[in-house]
C-alpha cells in the first residue's frame, strides 16, 4: 500500500512540476515518464481536474491543462448563446487571482468581466481568446476577439471620417453602440483601475496610462481583424475600485465627471482651430455634469474652436461645469480671451 501511495505521490508531483511548461503535451509526457498508456495518464490528469487542482481548457486536440492558482492560463471560448463572462471568470480566472490582495482581485474581476462581456455583446466575432500571466510581480490579462474591430465599429456608429477619432469618443466614457443594454462605462473605469490599458485594433495600438491616452510603439504584426485588449497591474497596486468610481462620481447622477484628452480630437500636426473639431470633441459630453478638458500635447487653439467649446456649448448646457488643465501659455491665453468675450 505504501509503495502504491508513494507512486501516486510521485506521479502527482511530476504532473504539478511539469505542467507549467507542458500544458499541451502533459498526457504524453506523463505516459512516457512512468511507462503506462495514454489512457492511464489521462486518468491521472482527469483526477486532478476533478479535485480542482488542474483546469482543463479546450477540447480534443486543442485541450490544454493549467495549474489552478498557477502563473499562467490560456483558453478560447466560442461566442454563442449562453456564454457568460461571470462563469468564464469563475472557471478559469478566479482560481488564479484568489491569492492576490483584495483590491487587485476586485480590479481583475471588474476589468475581466467588463471586457469579456464587451467581446461577447459587441465584437460580432465568433471566438474570444484569453491569455493571463503573472510574471515579475505583475499580472497581465489579454482578451482578443476576431470581430469587426472596436474602432471601426465606433467609426461606423458615429459616422466618423477617421478611425482615429474613435479613440476620442471611447475615452470619454458613457459611449456605447448599444445604449439599451450597456452604459458605456466599462472601458472608462477599467482603463483607470489598471496600471496600463491597451487596445490594438485597425492597426492602431492605444494605451491609457497615468491619466493619458497615447499611441503606443508596441505592435503585433501577426494580429489581424478584431480587437485585442491588454490590461496590466502590479500585484502591489494600492488602487481601490471604489475610490476610482468615487473620483468621477456625482451624488445625484452617479458617473458625472469625465476627463477628455483634447489632443485626440485632431491629428498631431493639425491645429485645433475649427468649430467642427470642437463639435467632435464635445459629442456626447452633454451627458456629464463636470467636464475636464486636458490640453496636454495641444500646441495651439483657434478662436472658433474656443468659442464653440466655452461659449456656444456652455450656453446650450449652462448646468455643465467645464474645467481645463495642462494648457500651455498660448492655449491658456486664447481660452481666457474667449471666456472674457462671452
Residue 66 lies in a domain: no
Q: How far is CA 81 from CA 77, 121, 122, 178, in A?
A: 12, 10, 14, 18
pLDDT tens digits along 68-101: 989 999 999 999 999 999 999 999 999 999 999 9
Domain end position, chosen among 194, 211, 239: 239
Cα–Cα distance measured from residue 331 to residue 333, given in angstroms and rounded to the nearest whole number: 5
Domain end position, chosen among 214, 239, 264: 239
Q: What is the CATH number of the domain that holds 151?
A: 3.30.565.10
For the record, the C-alpha cell of 126 comes out as: 465568433
Q: What is the CATH number of the domain that holds 12?
A: 1.10.10
Indicate if the pLDDT at residue 180 is higher than 60: no
| pLDDT at residue number 252 | 46
- Flag the least confident range among 17-21, 29-33, 255-259: 255-259
CA angle, residues 288, 105, 53, in degrees to nearest 5: 145
267 band by pLDDT with thresholds 50, 70 and 90: low
How large is the average pLDDT for residues 251-270?
71
| pLDDT at residue number 7 | 81
| pLDDT at residue number 113 | 95
**Please, which residues have CB within 8 angstroms of residue 148's CB and are 6 or more apart in sequence?**
123, 124, 125, 225, 226
User: Which stretches within the chain are classed as H helix?
Assistant: 2-18, 26-34, 38-50, 85-88, 94-97, 102-122, 150-158, 165-172, 186-193, 241-247, 275-282, 303-307, 313-316, 329-340
Residue 65 lies in a domain: no
The verdict on 162 and 21 lying in the same domain is: no
- Flag the least confident range among 33-47, 181-195, 279-293: 181-195
Number of domains in the chain: 3
pLDDT tens digits along 138-154: 999 999 999 988 888 88
How large is the average pLDDT for residues 171-189?
67
The verdict on 84 and 223 lying in the same domain is: yes
**DSSP secondary structure of 118-174:** HHHHHS--SEEEEEEEEETTEEEEEEEE-SS-HHHHHHHHHT-S-TTHHHHHHHHSS
* Sign of the four-CA dihedral 259, 264, 265, 269: positive
| pLDDT at residue number 312 | 92
Q: Higher confidence at residue 226 or residue 269?
A: 226
The verdict on 47 and 139 lying in the same domain is: no
| pLDDT at residue number 215 | 74
Q: Higher confidence at residue 159 or residue 15?
A: 15
The verdict on 7 and 84 lying in the same domain is: no
Residue 278 lies in a domain: yes
Range of the domain at 7: 2-55
Query: Side by side, which strands form the sheet with 204-209?
Result: 72-78, 127-135, 138-145, 227-234, 196-201, 204-209, 212-215
Domain end position, chosen among 195, 218, 239: 239
pLDDT tens digits along 100-136: 999 999 999 999 999 999 999 888 999 999 999 999 9
**Please, which residues have CB within 8 angstroms of residue 329's CB and are 6 or more apart in sequence?**
none
The verdict on 235 and 258 lying in the same domain is: no
The verdict on 28 and 97 lying in the same domain is: no
253 band by pLDDT with thresholds 50, 70 and 90: very low
pLDDT tens digits along 187-240: 888 999 999 999 998 888 889 888 777 776 666 555 567 999 999 999 999 999
The verdict on 214 and 293 lying in the same domain is: no
Amino acid at each position: 500500500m505504501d509503495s502504491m501511495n508513494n507512486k501516486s505521490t510521485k506521479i502527482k508531483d511530476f504532473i504539478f512540476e511539469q505542467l507549467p511548461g507542458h500544458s499541451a503535451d502533459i498526457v504524453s509526457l506523463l505516459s512516457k515518464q512512468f511507462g503506462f498508456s495514454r489512457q492511464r495518464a489521462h486518468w491521472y490528469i482527469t483526477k486532478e481536474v476533478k479535485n480542482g487542482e488542474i483546469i482543463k481548457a479546450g477540447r480534443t486536440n486543442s485541450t490544454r491543462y493549467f495549474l489552478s492558482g498557477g502563473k499562467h492560463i490560456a483558453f478560447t471560448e466560442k461566442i454563442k448563446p449562453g456564454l457568460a463572462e461571470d462563469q468564464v471568470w469563475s472557471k478559469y480566472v478566479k482560481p488564479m487571482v484568489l491569492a492576490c490582495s483584495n483590491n487587485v482581485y476586485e480590479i481583475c474581476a471588474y476589468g475581466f468581466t467588463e471586457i469579456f462581456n464587451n467581446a461577447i455583446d459587441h465584437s460580432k466575432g465568433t471566438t474570444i481568446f484569453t491569455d493571463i500571466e503573472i510574471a515579475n510581480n505583475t499580472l497581465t490579462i489579454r482578451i482578443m476577439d476576431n470581430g469587426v474591430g472596436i474602432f471601426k465599429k465606433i467609426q461606423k456608429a458615429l459616422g466618423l471620417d477617421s478611425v482615429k477619432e474613435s479613440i476620442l469618443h471611447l475615452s470619454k466614457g458613457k459611449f456605447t453602440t448599444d445604449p439599451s443594454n450597456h452604459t458605456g462605462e466599462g472601458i472608462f473605469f477599467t482603463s483607470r483601475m489598471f496600471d496600463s490599458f491597451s487596445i490594438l485594433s485597425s492597426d492602431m495600438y492605444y494605451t491609457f496610462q497615468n491619466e493619458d491616452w497615447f499611441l503606443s510603439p508596441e505592435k503585433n504584426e501577426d494580429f489581424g481583424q478584431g480587437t485585442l485588449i491588454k490590461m496590466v497591474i502590479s500585484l502591489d497596486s494600492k488602487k481601490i475600485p471604489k475610490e476610482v468610481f468615487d473620483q468621477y462620481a456625482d451624488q445625484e447622477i452617479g458617473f458625472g465627471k469625465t476627463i477628455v484628452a483634447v489632443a485626440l480630437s485632431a491629428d498631431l500636426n493639425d491645429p485645433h482651430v475649427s468649430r467642427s473639431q470642437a463639435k467632435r470633441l464635445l459629442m456626447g459630453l452633454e451627458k456629464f455634469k463636470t467636464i475636464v478638458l486636458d490640453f496636454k500635447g495641444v500646441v495651439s487653439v483657434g478662436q472658433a474652436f474656443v468659442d464653440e467649446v466655452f461659449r456656444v456649448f456652455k450656453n446650450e448646457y449652462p448646468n455643465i461645469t467645464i474645467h481645463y488643465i495642462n494648457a500651455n501659455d498660448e492655449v491658456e491665453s486664447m481660452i481666457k480671451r474667449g471666456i472674457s468675450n462671452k
